[in-house]
């Protein structure tokens, strides 16, 4: 018999007893024993109802707990399946990873090859350029340099009239060979510009930094692009030429003349200029020589600075003397080396511009003032 059937039977018995009690009340026949029995029956009914409610509540809680356990178990099973699946990647995923690794390896190898080829090409170009300019230098006749001794330059950079280099009679400080016939009142250029102009149309000067590979003709074209990739004879070459800005006067009479040359890691072209970032190099080499068909000059260095060519270029002219003075002050402030040399508003400047690799579009600009070397004093030395 189930709990429900038992409960219904008990209720039926209680109803029967209650009917009997009611009938007794109606007849007025109620004994103490009947009254006590009625109270006991009522209490029993109440206790049965409370027990039934408790049993139903416990059954409900048990069912809910069982359902929660089933849900938790199902979630655990799902998570376990996912972990197992993650630990065991599919063959398709492994193949994708392998392909990616092969691609990455291929890119790395290609980059190394490109760098190696680029370096090899640069070295080949440098050697070819060096050989070309060495042959050119050996083919030309030069007279001895006329210049001040850098060690006895005045504070303003003007050459000293004393302690000039002593040149023995009949000797040359540059290349062997017969010297031109020089007299006190005769101008003899450092090189034969007429002969060079026949071979290299567009030559305007010769530039030289003692003790380095910087020893080149200075060209000038109709733009600033041609000589970036062409030698003085017009043949195409990655090394290019040293050249004067096409907007400048070829006699260097402008307030600021801009001369360009490629930066080379092996020191050719303007590769030597990077050494000026070392103070000791500047101290040993404060002067660069510039020769034209009409004058010998010393470029007495004032400063060197880095510039972003996409934002700033050295000015060729200045609005007034105040602007020129501000430019000189800015050079000193930004200089990569310290120099005691100063310039005033009457001086002319030369900027030697080359590439740098400090940042995108970086350029190194070495600036000096143009000081004409006295020909009379030099001629006296040459005719001793």
Q: Please indicate whether residue 115 is annotated as part of the active site.
A: no
The full DSSP string for 57-69 is HHHHHHHHHHHHH
CA distance 42 to 44: 5
CA distance 140 to 208: 14
The SS3 of residue 294 is coil
CA distance 350 to 295: 15
8-state DSSP, 274: G
CA distance 136 to 314: 31
Quick one: 282 exposed, middle or buried, by C-beta within 10 A (0-12, 13-18, 19+)? buried
Return the half-sphere exposure (C-beta side, CA atoms, 13 A cut-off) of residue 238.
12
The SS3 of residue 23 is helix
Q: Which of 3, 115, 353, 355 is catalytic?
A: 355
CA distance 85 to 82: 5
The SS3 of residue 153 is coil
Question: Could you tell me if 135 and 352 are in contact, meaning their C-beta atoms sit under 8 angstroms apart?
Answer: no
CA distance 49 to 55: 10
CA distance 8 to 2: 10
Q: What amino acid positions are annotated as catalytic residues?
A: 355
């Amino acid at each position: 018999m189930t709990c429900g059937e038992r409960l219904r039977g008990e209720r039926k018995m209680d109803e029967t007893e209650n009917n009997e009690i009611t009938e007794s009340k109606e007849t007025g026949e109620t004994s103490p024993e009947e009254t006590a029995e009625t109270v006991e029956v009522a209490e029993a009914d109440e206790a049965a109802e409370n027990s039934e409610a408790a049993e139903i509540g416990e059954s409900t809680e048990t069912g809910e707990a069982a359902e929660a356990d089933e849900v938790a178990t199902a979630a655990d099973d799902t998570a376990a399946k996912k972990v197992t699946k993650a630990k065991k990647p599919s063959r398709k995923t492994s193949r994708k990873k392998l392909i990616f690794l092969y691609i990455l390896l291929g890119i790395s190898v290609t980059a190394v090859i490109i760098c190696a080829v680029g370096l090899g090409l640069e070295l080949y170009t440098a050697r070819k350029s060096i050989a070309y300019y060495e042959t050119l230098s050996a083919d030309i006749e030069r007279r001895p340099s006329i210049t001040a001794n850098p060690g006895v330059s005045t504070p303003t950079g003007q050459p000293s009239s004393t302690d000039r280099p002593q040149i023995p009679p009949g000797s040359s400080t540059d290349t062997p060979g017969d010297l031109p016939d020089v007299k006190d009142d005769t101008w003899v250029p450092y090189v034969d510009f007429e002969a060079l102009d026949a071979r290299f149309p567009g030559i305007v000067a010769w530039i030289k930094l003692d003790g380095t590979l910087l020893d080149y003709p200075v060209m000038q074209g109709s733009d600033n692009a041609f000589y970036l990739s062409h030698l003085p004879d017009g043949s195409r070459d990655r090394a290019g030429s040293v050249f004067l800005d096409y907007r400048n006067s070829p006699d260097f009479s402008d307030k600021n003349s801009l001369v360009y040359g490629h930066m080379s890691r092996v020191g050719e072209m303007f590769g030597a200029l990077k050494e000026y970032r070392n103070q000791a190099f500047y101290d040993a080499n404060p002067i660069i020589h510039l020769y034209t068909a009409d004058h010998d000059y010393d470029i007495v260095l004032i400063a060197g600075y880095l510039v972003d060519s996409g934002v700033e270029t050295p000015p060729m002219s200045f609005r007034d003397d105040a602007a020129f003075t501000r430019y000189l002050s800015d050079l000193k402030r930004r200089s990569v080396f310290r120099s005691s040399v100063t310039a005033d508003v009457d001086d002319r400047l030369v900027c030697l511009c080359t590439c740098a690799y400090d940042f995108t579009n970086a350029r190194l600009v070495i600036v000096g003032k143009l000081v004409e070397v006295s020909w009379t004093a030099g001629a006296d030395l040459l005719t001793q």
